[in-house]
Amino acid sequence: MKHTKLLALLLSAAFVAGCAGMNQGSSSESGQRSTGQVVDDAAITAKVKTALLADPEISGLGINVDTSQGAVRLKGEVKSVAHFQKAGSIAEGVAGVRSVDNQIIVCMTCK
Lowest-confidence pick of 1-10, 25-34, 70-79, 88-97: 1-10
Please report whether residue 1 resides in a domain: no
Check residue 1 and give its pLDDT: 52
Number of domains in the chain: 1
User: Alpha helix locations (H) across 1-111?
Assistant: 2-21, 27-30, 35-54, 81-92
Please report whether residue 3 resides in a domain: no
Check residue 8 and give its pLDDT: 47
Check residue 109 and give its pLDDT: 82
Please report whether residue 92 resides in a domain: yes
6 has a pLDDT exceeding 70:
no
Distance of CA 80 to the CA centre of its chain: 27
Q: Are 87 and 101 in contact (CB under 8 A)?
A: no
Q: Are 34 and 87 in contact (CB under 8 A)?
A: no
Please report whether residue 12 resides in a domain: no
Please report whether residue 86 resides in a domain: yes
Please report whether residue 17 resides in a domain: no
pLDDT digits over 51-110, tens only?
999 999 998 888 999 999 999 999 999 999 999 999 999 999 999 999 999 999 999 887
Check residue 61 and give its pLDDT: 86
DSSP SS3 for 4 = helix
- For residue 102, give the CATH number of its domain: 3.30.1340.30
Please report whether residue 103 resides in a domain: yes
Please report whether residue 6 resides in a domain: no
Cα–Cα distances (Å) from 34 to 5, 25, 39, 52, in that order, read 42, 13, 9, 27
Q: Which residue segment(s) compose the domain that 71 sits in?
A: 34-111
